Structure 1
């Protein structure tokens, strides 16, 4: 059972609209699901993993890609260069420990090389939508993990 069932409807609606707009703008539903699943793996969000694995299958993401996603860097040609660039950016934005300019609190920035690699595969609008999608799923992960909503649990 979740810690609380309370999530303001207006907040949930805004987060859902952000997620949907980012996915539409990215224009690749299968890639969008790979991105949200990878972020959810990093954030240990079982609820989001359960939901987005099912959606990914519906969008035709292969079982092999889903099975190897946590080790995508070592998976050879299972992921193309565009997918690899998106997954690298997903990890950098989700974890925020890379980069060359560390803050006094020990945080970091998205490394320039990772961002530039993504920019080689996505035009400016799609790259903006990709960053928005990564940001949105990280927000959802944090909301669901903080509330301890289990897989298949009630959503706001």
Structure 2
């Protein structure tokens, strides 16, 4: 196997951090922001981001039951409320585009639970974590690494 770079441009790192921070702030729900980032990271198999965001989610007070059942949120019943379910469905639709565009019904359900500004920030957050996932997975950055 060829060596993979661990380097990331300071400009790229700074820009993605700023975008993520702005998206989280605009969403206004730190726990939900972490659930969304964890779910996208599960779908993208990004161990680095999973490790990071699971820790942050716990710090934000997200319950262990939600974290344990996040991978099966659709079958988890009342563990996730309607707003969380809409955000997770949108996260999956934006993350996994192999089946086409984000379905109208998924977008419309999210729009019922989020104000337009919040929805824009949610989409930006999902887009940002997908970028981080791809950067970390491509370079095979291991969980807990500080050299990236």
Gaps of 5+ in 2: none
Give the aligned partner of residue 109 of structure 2. 117
What's the CA shift for 1:154? Answer: 2.0
Give the aligned CA root-mean-square deviation in angstroms.
1.0
1:153 aligns with 2:139: no
TM-score (norm 1): 0.91
Aligned residues: 146
**Structure 1: which 4+ aligned runs deviate by more than 4 Å?**
none
SS of the aligned residue for 1:149 comes to coil
Give the aligned partner of residue 25 of structure 1. 26
What's the CA shift for 1:155? Answer: 4.8
TM-score (norm 2): 0.96
Gaps of 5+ in 1: 99-107
**C-alpha distance in 2 between matches for 1:84 and 1:3:** 37
**C-alpha distance in 2 between matches for 1:137 and 1:88:** 15
Give the aligned partner of residue 53 of structure 2. 52
